Structure 1
Amino acid sequence: MRTRRWAVGLLAAVTATTVLSGCSGGGREADCDNVGGIVECAPDQRSDAPRLAGELLEGGSYDVTQQRGQVVVVNFWGSWCAPCRAEADDLENTYQATKDSGVTFLGINVQDSRDKAIAFEEGYGISYPSLFDPGSRLALDLDIPPNTIPATVILDREGRIATVIRAAVRQEGLQPIVERIAAESTAASGPR
């Protein structure tokens, strides 16, 4: 029993550290706000996102660096994930509501078959692209263990990690965060 409590405590500490390390570099984790599983970093505390590139579900390639200058909402999902199904409409609705503000969305499908992932997107009417990452390499590069999805990471216009959400999202919670990051001026984003 004591070993189990220790293991659970260690897991919680590692998870908290991992979430915060995605937002900042150089040991500035304390400067990021962590409220209710949503970690938001001030512009001068953000670190660059790792390279997010690969093969799209429907074929072709994608590299998030081509979206520099736009806010990019990156959602990790799987067709097998019940919370991912629950948030699908909210993500699509937020995308539709914010895309004219210089915001784009990117899904990253993990631990799935291509057929099931495509059926999921078609069934939920997802109109933004998704990368196919069956080995979860991109998720792990962003410190998103596949067993913690859904997860949503919001990149600012400079490609830096502004927000990490480790839970299913709802439009009423996600859209104001996306709009706030989209409203930031690149001049006010601070040094890189």
Structure 2
Amino acid sequence: MRRLLTGLLGALVLAGCSTGTSAVDVNNGGEFRFVAGTPAGEVLPPGERAGAPQFSGTLLGGGEFSSAELDGDVAVLNFWGSWCPPCRVETPQFQEVYADVRDRGVAFLGLNVKETSEQFATAFVASEGIEFPSLYDPRGEVALAFRDYPANAIPSTIVLDRQGRVAAVYTGEVAQEDLRAVLDMLLAEEG
């Protein structure tokens, strides 16, 4: 009976993560649970945007990073893990978008959370040819700083406007066309 329950739980977990519209909650004492995603995301009008929390950490491969480095740019913050199937789909697509917009005042930052080994995260980034930096945040401390948005589900993506305010929130896998549309909108804004 115990094996049957364990097998069913495992199947449910895998089914929830593989749909692309679900995400795993990492803000519940280290246990993972799947929550419904918001595939189209939520884009906030300028008057409803709040400032993003400040954060810092260590980059994969070494070096320190501070959120102050994002000041003045539109910024894409993607919370991911190499163990997350939707992350494996969207991360190479993020690289494509990044290659197209990095010279237009758009910064990308990956935030690797709940990873059992930095080696797994580094291998994933290398295998996918990801050129934008990622923080190594195995305890999810930066995700906790963004818990109001909610970055406590993996994958999650938060897009900041040039003033460092949260302009869009995606829980679950982000479609490339949705990300491009919000970036175009933010780049067109005065400021």
Give TM-score, length-normalised by structure 1.
Answer: 0.75
2:61 to 58, 63, 66: 58
Measured against aligned partners, the alpha-carbon deviations of 1:6-30 in whole angstroms (never above 9, x if no partner) come to xxxxxxxxxxxxxxxxxxxxxxxxx
Decide whether the 8 Å contact of 2:79 with 2:151 is kept in 1.
Answer: no
Per-residue deviation, 1:36: 5.1
The AA in structure 2 aligned to 1:130 is: S
- Give SS of 1:85's match: helix
- For 1:145 and 1:96, locate their aligned partners in 2 and report how far apart those are by CA, in whole Å: 24
The AA in structure 2 aligned to 1:84 is: C
Tell me, which stretches of 5 or more residues in structure 2 are unaligned?
A: 1-37
Decide whether the 8 Å contact of 2:39 with 2:171 is kept in 1.
Answer: no
Per-residue deviation, 1:170: 2.3
The AA in structure 1 aligned to 2:123 is: A
- For 1:100 and 1:110, locate their aligned partners in 2 and report how far apart those are by CA, in whole Å: 27
- Give SS of 1:169's match: coil
Give TM-score, length-normalised by structure 2.
Answer: 0.75
Cross-structure match for 1:38: 41
Measured against aligned partners, the alpha-carbon deviations of 1:115-159 in whole angstroms (never above 9, x if no partner) come to 00000000111100000100001111101454x211100011111
Cross-structure match for 2:107: 104
Residue 124 to residue 63, structure 1, CA distance change in 2 (3 Å): same
Cross-structure match for 1:178: 183
Count of aligned residue pairs for this structure pair: 151
Decide whether the 8 Å contact of 1:98 with 1:179 is kept in 2.
Answer: no
Greater helix share, structure number? 1
Cross-structure match for 2:131: 127
Cross-structure match for 2:94: 91
Per-residue deviation, 1:83: 0.4
Residue 36 to residue 65, structure 1, CA distance change in 2 (3 Å): same
The AA in structure 1 aligned to 2:79 is: F
Per-residue deviation, 1:171: 1.5
Greater strand share, structure number? 2
Measured against aligned partners, the alpha-carbon deviations of 1:20-70 in whole angstroms (never above 9, x if no partner) come to xxxxxxxxxxxxxxx755111111211110112111011010112122110
Q: Does 1:141 align with 2:145?
A: yes
- Higher relative contact order by CA 8 Å / sep ≥ 6: 1 or 2? 2
- For 1:175 and 1:70, locate their aligned partners in 2 and report how far apart those are by CA, in whole Å: 15
Residue 120 to residue 36, structure 1, CA distance change in 2 (3 Å): closer
- Give SS of 1:39's match: strand
The AA in structure 2 aligned to 1:115 is: Q
Tell me, which stretches of 5 or more residues in structure 1 are unaligned?
A: 1-34, 187-192
Shift >4 Å, 4+ stretches: none
